[in-house]
Amino acid sequence: MLSLRDVSRWYAKGQVAALAGVSLDVAPGECVAVVGPSGSGKSTLLHLLCGLDRPTSGRVFFDGLEPRSVGDWARLRATRVGFVFQAPNLLATLTAAENVEVPMFAAGIRRRERERRARELLGRVGLAHRARHRPSELSGGEQQRVAIARALANAPSVLLADEPTGNLDSVTAAAVLDLLLGLRAQDGMTLVVVTHDAGIAQRAERVIQILDGRVVRDSRGGPP
């Protein structure tokens, strides 16, 4: 599904290596946790997997193809990839439902269908009753659930999450994690989650540990 072949990413004119010679494959439907200390290159790995960042050297494959242009990657992100950030990053001027609609513009979905799907997705994350609320009227956990609904907007085959519970208290974090894993199980999506959270790592099928831009451990974790 997702493949990196000898990928390196250098920053600051070749002074800092965020990733150095990483090769890995993620199979369809797999649930992968990427762990490691801050600055080890976890987020860079995630950004490279969806073309937000481009490797300094090496090759990135998505579903066996190698997208090359900014437009190719933008189309893939619009139609095949869902992205959950550490902060919810909702647009403050839009309601919860409208935030969920945002990625659907890029996928060219019609207005009525956008509105129907947004309602349905908010229902799936348990926020149907909050559809008309703005982010400032929602709690941190609710905002992150809206962000998860937004990531599912275009029924992606791959869900990428960058510290999705990093900003939440432990109870809320556990609830958000349950939701994320539950949705993945229902839809059979590939999930790659970058985390500091040992709880997430335990529940992933596979844990990839990164240190100083290199994969130092790649193993199966606990049951999904």
Partner 1 sequence: MRFVSFPLRNVVRRPARSLLTGLGAAAAIGAFVVLVGLTRGFERSWLDQVEAYGVDLLASQGGSLDVLSSTVPEHLGEELRRVPGVTAVGADMGHLVILEPGKAAVLAGLDAHNPVWKRLKLAAGVLPGPAQPDGVALGSGVAEALGKKLGDTIRIVGKDFPVVGILQPAARVQGNSIFMLLPTAQKLLGREGRVTAFSVRRDPRLSPEERAEVLARLTRAFPNLTFHQGEDPAASNEMLWAFRAIVASTSLVAILVAIVVILNTLLMSVVERTREIGVLRALGWGPARVLAAIVLEGLALASVGSLLGALGGFAALGALTSAPVVRSFVAPVLDARAVGEVVAVAVVVGVLGSLYPAWRALRMDPVEALRYE
Per rule CB under 8 A, is residue 163 in the interface with partner 1? Answer: no
Q: Does 106 bind partner 1 (CB under 8 A)?
A: yes
* 101 forms part of the interface with partner 1 (CB under 8 A): yes
Of 27 and 91, which has the nearer Cβ to partner 1?
A: 91
CA distance 112 to 128: 17
Residues 6+ apart with CB under 8 A from 26: 1, 2, 3, 32, 49, 190, 192
Eight-class DSSP state of 135: G
Give 106's contacts (C-beta < 8 A, 6+ positions apart): 74, 77, 78, 154
- 24 backbone φψ class: left, alpha, beta (φ>0; ψ -120 to 50): beta
Is 5 an interacting residue with respect to partner 1 (CB under 8 A)?
A: no
User: For the chain, what is the largest distance between any 2 Cα atoms, rounded to a whole number of angstroms?
Assistant: 50
Q: According to the binding rule CB under 8 A, does residue 41 interact with partner 1? A: no
Which of 37, 61, 45, 35 shows the shortest CA–CA distance to 9?
Answer: 45
By CB under 8 A, which span of 103-111, 119-127, 177-185, 207-215 interacts with partner 1? 103-111
Our CB check for partner 1 shows the closer of 132 and 220 to be 132
Helix (H) or strand (E) holding 23: strand 16-26
Minimum CB distance to partner 1, residue 27 (Å): 23
Quote the least distance from Cβ 111 to partner 1, whole Å. 6
Residue 22 DSSP SS3 = strand
| Binding of residue 197 to partner 1 (CB under 8 A) | no
* Residue 71 near partner 1 by CB under 8 A: yes
Given a contact cutoff of 8 angstroms between Cβ atoms, the answer to whether 152 and 121 are in contact is yes
Rounded least distance, CB 206 to partner 1, Å = 24
Give, as ranges, the residues between 81 and 100 that touch partner 1 (CB under 8 A).
81, 83, 85, 89, 91-94, 97-98
Q: Which residues bind partner 1 (CB under 8 A)?
A: 47, 50, 52-53, 70-71, 74-79, 81, 83, 85, 89, 91-94, 97-98, 101-103, 105-107, 111, 114-115, 150, 154
